[in-house]
Amino acid sequence: MGKWAEGRTLSKKCWSLLGQNKYFLWFPVIGLILALLPLAVFGIPALVLLAYDSELLGIILAALCLVFVNYAFTLSGAALVSAADEELAGKDASVGYGFGKAFGKLVPLFVWAIIRAVVSAFFAALRGNNSGAAGVASNIFAAIGAAAWSIVTFFVTPYIMFHDSNAVAAIKESAKLVKEKWGTQLTGGIRIGASVALIILPAIALVVIGVIMLSGDGGGAAVGGGLIAVGAVLFLIGLLIGNTLQAIFSVALYRFATGSTEIAPFTATELQGVLRVKS
């Protein structure tokens, strides 16, 4: 079986596991709700201050907003990882179980959220608004760097949740694990992404059509506004499902890479196909 087919099989099983445990979707939803608080407390005031040229305070509030938004999604992601791990082990879990485990790791998860926020800000700044050859080069470098960072840190959240470790040590261990046993998680990731794209791409198309119609008059503008709203909702749903599937996938791969052999519904052969063990 080829790598693409193996990734497709894994992705189908991730979808199947999600179908059997629909409560998994509550984790990213709760993360989104939690993220609204720092957006309201820090984000909106930051925009107001920046609009009135209070740059220093505005930047500080924007930085706090970025950190705590990352923290909200880091907590919900960690809770999902814990619940998925229980389900993969053949046990019953719940939303409460997952967040109970995440709340036991508040400090290392907060440090990890800060690191994520700083790295995200760095790559965003690197992209910038530069034009010409320098702008193209910086955008390419930022894209490559962001992709490499996401791969190197793929196992950070599982490592924090399953070990008594801080965020920095978890990053080092994740990088070490990737270096020693990384194969083609990207194959599974692409297949998961491709399936989620069936939701996201139509959503983007609806938004684009809606924007075009919005520039018109009368009923066309009203329909355009409706299409934008529907597209935005579908886009959000696609992102939530994609994040959930990726968390399930990360737990399965982490357990297999660290020596587990029974990770139902995944088989060792299937997971072996996406991890190339170095000799």
Per-residue pLDDT reduced to its tens digit, 149-202? 888 888 899 999 999 889 999 999 988 888 777 554 444 444 566 667 777 888
Structure tokens, 120: 């995200």
Give the residue from 246, 252, 247, 248 showing the smallest Cα distance to 266.
Answer: 252
| pLDDT one-digit tens code per residue, 83-139 | 999 988 888 899 999 999 999 999 999 999 999 999 988 888 887 666 666 677 788
Cα–Cα distance for residue pair 18/23, rounded to 1 Å? 8
Q: How many CB atoms lie within 10 A of CB 253?
A: 26
Domain boundaries, the chain: 3-272
Cα–Cα distance for residue pair 75/73, rounded to 1 Å? 5
Per-residue pLDDT at 111: 96
Phi-psi region of 218 (alpha: psi -120 to 50; beta: other; left: phi over 0): left
Judge whether 167 and 188 are in contact, CB under 8 Å. no
